[in-house]
Each structure stands twice: as structure tokens, then as C-alpha cells.
Structure 1
């Protein structure tokens, strides 16, 4: 279109008659005019008209705004009593007044829980939420992804059920003649390749046992294996960190993998048994390091790195692991 417009402007702006010179002019016979060649049409300027998109009937409903078609992401705690938009995301959270000195945020499987002192106004709580908005939304997104992976890793509690054990698949076999507490054994590589699993757990239960009964028996067996393994790994790493642990207890917390007290008491989540040994070792070293540094300062992470240099990668595996629901 620009070329056609330029051609038209040239026709009207150019004066074919030269300016008249001053003084007498000798007239010469005008040479015979040659007919001008017609301009070659540009095929891009003379394309056939494209068919127009059908016009919606005026009687039809108007198009919905984009904000109504694509709803913003949202997170909602089942017991939410406050709501705020953070990073373009609606976050409905549970708000509690508590006897504490500062505002606390906890992101768990159900969503965000905020606790604040009684004297802190709501506007200050909202300001603190906006300050931490990137961290909160990231943690909520990770929790949602973790729940999705856990749902995909759900276990059908019956003969032949499979679940992860030390990072590898384990299969449950119901054998009435097996030990009542269960018998767990690992297969050699050839048998594992043939069976498609690395570990077998034989339970002394009948094939028609109820799902809850099978689940409880498997959990009891895995907790027993977990406590023995955790004690072994604590004994292995404590001398390297120059600390002594006094007591080991298993936990079933939904948001914490372990804890340590200054008196040498260690608590480890028994569900760590689903992860590979390097990931378990990271958590063991993490809690033992707290016996030297009771915070998460740079000195603490230097202590962990001295024994587990790749602790960041192992921690990421811990956060992204898909575990069965119990």
C-alpha cells in the first residue's frame, strides 16, 4: 500500500513543465512524444481480497473479558479466615493471634498459616505478607506440586502393592506362612531385573486381608527398618562432626523431616525410609550439625558442607520426592 501511495503522490507533486527561464527564449520544435509505458503492477498491491472473518450475530452474547476466561491462580487453606493477593495470586490463609513476639508464616500441606502477636495491627500483618510474597507463593506452589505427585504415587493396599523403599521399588506379598511382623529382603540384580522391583516385603496376612490391615503392617515394618538404619547412620556421621547423639525417636510430622535438641536428642521422620540413602544421610548430617550450631547461619551450612558437599542437590531431591500417603 505504501508503494501505491508513493506512486500516486509522485503523479501529483511532479510538475512536468520546467520553470520558465528569464530573458528571450528560442523556441525549438518539440520532439515527438514517446508514449509512457504503463507502470508494471506490483502483485503485492493487487492481491485478491481476503475473505473476512464472520461477524458474530449482534443477538449473541458479548465476548467475556480475558480476566474472566483465565482466572488467576489461587491457594486456599480449608480453615481460611483471611484473603490477600500476593504476586498476582489470591492466597486465602488461616490467621491466628498467638503469644509470640513476631509474625510467623508456615506453609504446610493444607496451605498458609499466619500467626501474629495480639498487639500487631492487621495492616502490619498484610505488609509483612507482601514483603514475603515471593517466598510464600513459591512455597505454596511447591506444596501443591508435592500433593499432586503424592496423589499420583498413591498405593492400592493389596497383594502386589508397590511403594518406594530406599529410593527403589518395593513390592508387598501376602503369604499366610510368613512371619507375623513381616520379612523384608533385597533381591540380587538378576532377580530384581526379572521381578521389576528391588525389594520384597512378605507379610503373614491372608490374601483377603483388608486394606487398612495391610497398610498398618507395612508401616510397622518400615518404621522398624527406619529406626535401625537411622541409628546406624547417626553412628557413622557423629564422629565426623565431633558430636554425640544421646537418643533417637521417630516422628510422623507432615512438614518437618527432623529436629535436634542441645541435649543430644534426635528426631527423624520415619518416612525418610522412602528416599535413597544419600538423601537420608543429608538429613542425618543436618540434624547432627545442629548439635554444634543451633541455627541456620552460614556457619551451620559450612558445617554441613564439610561432610556433605552436595547438600543443596540432596535437599532438592528431598523437596521434590513423591511419597505415598499414609
Structure 2
């Protein structure tokens, strides 16, 4: 099935601006889905935009209720001393200390610990976010290199993303970008996203040939995709 990557759009529903991703494909009906990226609208290839918006408006109440429920369930993480943070699929303890604004990773001992060595007046949330991003970039570079070796492709530039609508992207010109919040997830799910983006170095589309490349890199990609959708709904907000 031919599927477009998706177009980011906005619409006013019940007085509120709602962002959504419009995806056109060889489907026969219009459909709505809400996941970690927000509202996704799937439509047939030749449906006119006014008809798409009319369809969205006809489901305005359902959309509003689902988005409200989703927002209410996203936990807001407070980096207090003793708090537990999901990282690489495990639980890490956060400890606050004094220092020169650096993050110290204690991976041995009774439990893995992230120490935020703050200077006076330092921002614990900002320091934690910076530390997680540094850790994420190092890990992602390692995983991209591994999958590129499997394909016999040179490793592209790797950078972090904070995009609202996708976990990763790939460009032959600028390289691969991966969302830093993937660092909270188990490594197998991170590897699925990495394999997906590395496969785009071969096929810059979502054709059967593309999915054949993904399968060669990550045979269990269908199950991983479903697990990613479920796990991402509970990621902490930083």
C-alpha cells in the first residue's frame, strides 16, 4: 500500500487549535487515530481537504475527549531526590547533590543511579534533560553504526530530535535524527526505530522493498511497532 509520510496541519475544533498529521494512502475510508504523536487522520489519496476537515469536525467531541484523556495520563516527572526515572526500560534512582552542574551515572551497586551534581541555584530539570540527551546521543550513534555495518553502508551524521510527531527521520543530505526521549525505552524498541531509519538509507519510502530492508535488520519489527505505541504513552514529561 502506498502511504505518504504525513503532512502536519492545524484545525480549530470547539474553539481550540488542534494539530494533526494528515496521511494519504490507497485506503478506501477515512479514519482517525490518537497516539503519542497526537491526532493522525488517514484518508484515501484523492479526498479533498474540505472533505477531510468536514470529517474531522464531525468527530470533534470524540477527538477532544481522547486528547484530554491522553494529556491527563502523561506523567510529569519531578527530579526530586529519591525519585525513580524510567531509563532504557529499567528504573533509575535520581539523587541530588552538590557540584559543578554535571550528571554522574552510577551503574553499579544496589540500583542504577543518576546523580545531579548541582551548583547553588542550579536547575535540576534542565541538568537532567541535558544529561539524558548526552547519554541518548552516544547510544544512538552506537546503534546507528551497528545497523549501518549490517547493511554495508557508511554511517551518516546522527543528531537528536525533539519533534512532536515522529520518533526519527532520515535524510540523505543531513543524516539521521532520533528523538532523545527514546532513551526512556527498552533497547529493543530503540533498535526498532534505529533500524527503521537506517533502512531509509537504502529506500527513501515505505514501499515493500523498504520493509524488506527493515525485516533484514529487525525481523520482529511488527511486534516492536505495536510495543512502541503502547510504551510511549507512559513516557515521563520533562
Answer yes or no: same fold by TM over 0.5.
Answer: yes
**Corresponding residue of 1:157:** 79
Structure 1 ranges of 4+ moved more than 6 A:
none
Mapping of residues 208-247 of structure 1, within 5 Å: 213-247=123-157
Relative to structure 1, is the Cα distance of residues 246 and 126 closer, same or farther in structure 2, using a 3 angstrom cutoff?
Answer: closer
Relative to structure 1, is the Cα distance of residues 167 and 308 closer, same or farther in structure 2, using a 3 angstrom cutoff?
Answer: same
Whether the 8 Å contact between 2:38 and 2:165 is mirrored in structure 1 is no
Pairwise CA distance, 1:82:
4.9
- Tell which structure's C-alpha radius of gyration is larger: 1
Structure with the bigger RCO (C-alpha within 8 Å, sep 6+) is 2
Give, in whole Å, the separation in 2 of the partners of 1:241 and 1:313: 22
Helix, strand or coil at the partner of 1:204? strand
Pairwise CA distance, 1:121:
7.0
Give, in whole Å, the separation in 2 of the partners of 1:317 and 1:121: 32
Mapping of residues 229-308 of structure 1, within 5 Å: 229-263=139-173, 265-308=175-218
Pairwise CA distance, 1:146:
5.0
Which structure carries more strand by proportion? 2
Post-superposition CA distance 1:241-296 (Å, at most 9, x none): 23223211111112210000023601010110000111111111100000111111
Helix, strand or coil at the partner of 2:188? helix
Q: Which runs of 5+ in 1 are unaligned?
A: 1-78, 84-91, 97-102, 115-119, 193-198
Relative to structure 1, is the Cα distance of residues 109 and 145 closer, same or farther in structure 2, using a 3 angstrom cutoff?
Answer: farther
**How many residue pairs get matched?**
205
TM-score between both structures, scaled by the size of structure 1: 0.54
Helix, strand or coil at the partner of 1:324? coil
Helix, strand or coil at the partner of 1:216? helix
Helix, strand or coil at the partner of 2:124? helix
Post-superposition CA distance 1:151-188 (Å, at most 9, x none): 3xx322321122111011111111215x6311012135
Q: Which runs of 5+ in 2 are unaligned?
A: 1-9, 21-29, 43-47
Post-superposition CA distance 1:91-146 (Å, at most 9, x none): x87599xxxxxx9x9967564689xxxxx573x3357x48xx8xxx89x95x6665
TM-score between both structures, scaled by the size of structure 2: 0.72
Give, in whole Å, the separation in 1 of the partners of 2:19 and 2:160: 30
Give, in whole Å, the separation in 2 of the partners of 1:162 and 1:260: 33
